[in-house]
Structure 1
Amino acid sequence: MEKETKAYRAHCLVLAFPSQGHINPMFEFAKRLEHKRVKVTLVTTSFFSKTIHKEACSMALETISDGYDEGGRQQAESIAVYWERFRQVGSQTLSELVERLSSSGCPVDCIVYDAFLPWPLDIAKKFGLVGAVFFTQSCVVNSIYYHVHKGELKLPLSEPEIFLPGLPPLEPQDMPSFIYDWGSYPGGLDMLVNQFANIDKADWVLLNTFYELEQEVVDWMTKIWPLRTIGPTLPSMFLDKRLEDDDAYGFSIFKPNTDACMKWLNGRPKGSVVYVSFGSMAVLEVEQMQELAWGLRMSNSSFLWVVRASEETKLPEKFIEETSEKGLVVHWCPQLEVLSHEAVGCFLTHCGWNSTLEALSLGVPMASATMDRPRHECKVYYGFLEDGTEGSG
């Protein structure tokens, strides 16, 4: 074990919030650390580890408890109860993990933790470790929530324009829905604002973005925190090709229809397909789902539409059968492979940050699926969705 320890520059725990949209970018960052000869141990919750499909990966995986090992967030009576239980039990089990790894001969030097979970920084400081917070959202969105946290952006919004450092003038409807539609997402806004509860104590602030994309706001944030932009965190073979075996994220809470999707796309002309996906979290009303279905049916384009199993009953009757010649509906797909396929000419997206970075990196034009607010807004909740399914942020 001593020789193994010396072979690495450091040992880093990477703790991701237990959802698809958070583990993907943090796992990719972890792969880059390993490439630099840093020993990495990926950490997630016991329940989440049972639900993910893990592809070939040599990285060490450890688990902690969120207090709901048999059912995860769905087992908790409310989002507020879940967050508090996760903080209490997670702090205890993360401390036990750090102690166990330290006594094993390969002690931990650093904890990189998801901003959704600010308490791991307290654990890092308790053991004298470096603590680095990892934000999976855009720098602009982080800046908005930070100003709410500081009390410099008053809620509910009352002014016709909002002026924040490093950002152009914004109207209320430009704000995240947690702010614009204030009070409609109980517990959600508190969790997002609490990302900044102890950020001033972090040794590093890491953001999944790149400087040229958000230059002005990054410059402003760099003045107050030891900040680094480390994105876009895509598998290397879709970006810079420095890691030859890195051609997929490696973890998925859904089993993708890879063969069916790629075979179908291979039979379509270049740039002819509209790819439609709202991620693992957005929940549409039945009326919205059916209007979108009719729009795709009447369009002149072929379409590949990702509809989660929990959402499929909202489709018009016999829609899948009647559009089978021009469209393919799947429960999940390998999004990076789809976006990089020459048949895809447009991405109709909910504008989740991972999807946005993927499309930007692969040069795919995007159309936003955001509906007019508040009546026709896609309903998105961090942690708990209206139908009880798990989302990813």
Structure 2
Amino acid sequence: MAIHSHIGVLAFPFGTHAAPLLTLVRRLVLDSSSQGITFSFFNTAKSNCAIFSGQEFDNIKAYDVWDGTHEGEAFTGSNILEAMQLFLAATPGNFEKVMKEAEVKNGMKISCLLSDAFLWFTCDLAEERGIPWVSFWTAASCSLSAHMYTDQIWSLMRSTGTAKTEEKTLSFVPGMTSVRFSDLPEEILSDNLESPLTLMIYKMVQKLSKSTAIVVNSFEEIDPVITNDLKSKFQNFLNIGPSILSSPTLSNGDSGQECLLWLEKQRHASVIYISFGTVITPQPREMAGLAEALETGEFPFLWSLRDNAMKLLPDGFLDRTSKFGMIVSWAPQLKVLENPSVGAFITHCGWNSILESISFGVPMICRPFFGDQNLNSKMVEDVWKIGVRLEGGVFTKNGTIEALHSVMLNETGKAIRENINKLKRKAQNAVKFDGTSTKNFRALLELIKSPRGI
């Protein structure tokens, strides 16, 4: 098969950024109209190893870029910000070097760059080559919108003082009039450009308007006002999700069968599923508060908890709750949320988890920790009305019991369940053949297939 388009894909190797980008690339490859396109996936060796897991995909070739550590040495620090700083200091040279290698190997120049939006310098690389830059925003539209209004937010904070601003709402941001300054990510509230993360995101905001397209794993109907505002700011603003409803997923084989069999024995919508992603473990006091709430209320629960965090549970908790609860070191989250016995999801409010919860109609109890999670939880509770936040923002025994009662037993929970099922139907409609996300995906595919014709 003749190759007529060579797409360079630049990944941000931290958190849960690289995996959704690979999911998007796989979806582009598997589309029957994408024949003749090859993708070179540029990422650090550690991240590539984690997301490819030894598997190879047709028309996707992984290339390792330097992570910024000294040659022959692995990063030994414990702070992810330190690793991020080393990586960013090595850019864009580390990407440029491997991009040239990929062009030689493919015998074809790269015709389009697709990157994580955080990698703002991709704009410059594309301009130097005279090719399009497509950026992929891995979070929600609301957080992108907040970042796009950073200058206005900083100006207001400087003129009125941070303390006086915290409880003010973003009345000047379309679709976010109920969001307070205190709900925003720290990277927006802080104008300290010495922070590598804050500086990276600020530079991203300055460059994004030059991109040929912004791609988001979401659907227009979840935030129509925000969507229309962002469409006015970019050449192409393309919601193409939820990917979980439109993209094939890798099978985990028989992994997680024990907990799935356990779920099959539980009553409809009775189980609390608990997971905080792959990075977060609550502090010991919060772990105790959550455990005590589950034990006191005897709520059936399935808790995905890494082995090294088991020691944070109260003494005897596992034995006392064995009749109505289950703890596993890993759970197949999509299959869990899809199971009709699951009635609520206690989550850190990462965007992928929120989309998965919406896609399967499972109400949320939110305990955000960092980044965009606090803003996401605000949208969940007060804008979309598909979940609740914990009183005081942390796990306590009484606060957690109250949240569980609200979602599982009270009239509040009934309304939340109705709202999330309405949103679920909108998401399902968006990925149908004539849905908005499907049309946007076709536009994206045409864009990267014929970049010179844009």
1:78 CA displacement: 7.2
Specify the alignment match of 2:352 in structure 1.
354
Q: CA deviation at 1:332?
A: 2.1
CA displacement, residues 182-218 of structure 1 (integer Å, 9 cap, x when unaligned): 98x9655444434314223222222222111111111
Q: TM-score, normalised by structure 2?
A: 0.70
Q: What TM-score results when the alignment is normalised by the length of structure 1?
A: 0.80
Aligned letter for 2:118? F
Alignment of 1:26-175 (within 5 A): 26-34=21-29, 35=31, 36-37=33-34, 38-52=37-51, 54=53, 56-58=55-57, 59-68=60-69, 75=77, 79=81, 82-104=83-105, 105-149=107-151, 151-152=154-155, 154=157, 156=162, 158-159=164-165, 160-162=167-169, 163-166=171-174, 167-175=176-184
Q: Distance in 1 between matches of 2:395 and 2:342?
A: 27
- Partner Cα separation in structure 1 for residue 99 and residue 157 of structure 2: 40
> Secondary structure at the residue paired with 2:164?
coil
- Which of the pair has the greater relative contact order for Cα pairs under 8 Å at 6+ separation? 1
2:150·2:188 contact (CA, 8 Å) conserved in 1? Answer: no
The aligned counterpart of 2:238 is 229
Question: Offset at 1:259?
Answer: 2.4
- Cα 1:198–1:84 change in 2 (3 A) is farther
8 A contact 1:339–1:359 mirrored in 2? yes
1:277 Cα deviation from its structure 2 partner: 0.9
Name which of structure 1's ranges 68-77 and 348-357 shifts more when overlaid on structure 2: 68-77
Q: Which moved more, 1:332-341 or 1:29-38?
A: 29-38
SS in 2 for 1:284: coil
Match for residue 383 of structure 1? Answer: none
Q: What number of residue pairs does the alignment pair up?
A: 359
Taking the TM superposition and a 5 Å limit, the aligned residue runs for 1:315-334 are 315-334=313-332
Contact 1:303 1:326 in 2 (8 A): yes
Paired amino acid for 2:279: M
- Of residues 337, 341, 347, the one that matches 2:335 is 337
Specify which of 182, 193, 198 is matched with residue 202 of structure 2: 193
Q: Percent identity?
A: 23
Aligned twin of 2:407: none
SS of equivalent to 1:17: coil
What is the alpha-carbon distance in structure 2 between the residues aligned to residue 276 and residue 264 of structure 1? 15
Q: How far apart are the structure 1 equivalents of 2:257 and 2:348?
A: 25
SS of residue paired to 1:140: helix
Structure 1: which 5+ runs fail to align?
378-393
Superposed CA deviations along residues 120-151 of structure 1, whole A, max 9, x for unmatched, are 33222223332111111111111212222464
CA spacing shift, 1:26–1:70, aligned 2, 3 Å:
farther
Within 1, Cα distance between the matches of 2:75 and 2:137?
A: 21
Secondary structure of the 2:344 match is strand
* Cα deviation code 1:210-265 (max 9, x no counterpart): 11111111111111212323332434xxx24xx6xx23388xxxx99522222222
- Rg bigger for which structure? 2
Cα distance between partner residues in 1 of 2:209 and 2:320: 56
- CA gap of 1:197–1:293, structure 2 versus 1, over 3 A, is same
Structure 1 residue 353: deviation in Å? 0.6
Q: Distance in 2 between matches of 1:157 and 1:189?
A: 20
Following superposition, the deviation at residue 328 of structure 1 comes to: 1.4
Cα distance, 1:199–1:93 mapped onto 2, change above 3 Å = same
Residue 18 (structure 1) aligns with = 13
Q: Secondary structure at the match of 2:109?
A: coil
Instruction: Give me the whole-angstrom Cα distance separating, in 2, the residues matched to 1:373 and 1:144.
Output: 23
Q: Is the 8 A contact 1:87 1:119 kept in 2?
A: no
Structure 2 residue runs without a partner (length 5+): 369-389, 397-454
Structure 1 pair 333/367, CA: closer, same or farther in 2 (3 Å)?
same
Deviations, residues 25-46 of structure 1 (Å, cap 9, x unaligned)? 2122112211141322333211
Q: Distance in 1 between matches of 2:272 and 2:206?
A: 41
Shift in Å, 1:359: 0.9
Distance 2:187 2:284 in 1: 22
In 2, the alpha carbon distance for the partners of 1:296 and 1:56 equals 39
Q: Structure 2 residue aligned with 1:176, among 179, 182, 185?
A: 185
**Does the C-alpha gap of structure 1 residues 96 and 190 become closer, same or farther in structure 2, counting only changes over 3 Å?**
closer
Q: 1:202 aligns with which of 183, 191, 211?
A: 211
Structure-2 separation of matches of 1:74 and 1:114 = 25
Contact 2:242–2:359, Cα closer than 8 Å, also in 1: no
Deviation of residue 317 (structure 1)? Answer: 1.9
Sort the Cα spacing of 1:212 and 1:71 in 2 relative to 1 into closer, same or farther, 3 A. farther
Determine the C-alpha separation between the residues in 1 that align with 2:251 and 2:68: 27
Corresponding position of 1:278: 276
Residue 290 (1) aligns with residue 291 (2): no
Counterparts of 1:301 and 1:225, CA distance in 2:
47
- Mapped to 2, the partners of 1:11 and 1:216 lie a distance apart of 35
| Two-structure CA RMSD over aligned residues (Å) | 3.2
Distance 2:114 2:19 in 1: 14
Distance in 1 (CA, whole Å) between partners of 2:268 and 2:227 is 37
Change (3 A) 1:172 1:225: same
Q: Per the alignment, in what secondary structure is the counterpart of residue 136 of structure 2?
A: strand
1:321-356 C-alpha deviation (Å, 9 max, x unpaired)? 332221111222221111111221211111111100
Q: Does 1:313 align with 2:276?
A: no
- Counterpart of 1:128, as a letter, is G
CA distance in 2, matches of 1:344, 1:128: 50
* Cα distance between partner residues in 1 of 2:149 and 2:254: 39
Q: CA deviation at 1:174?
A: 2.9
Q: How does 1:371-390 map to 2 (within 5 A)?
A: 371=390
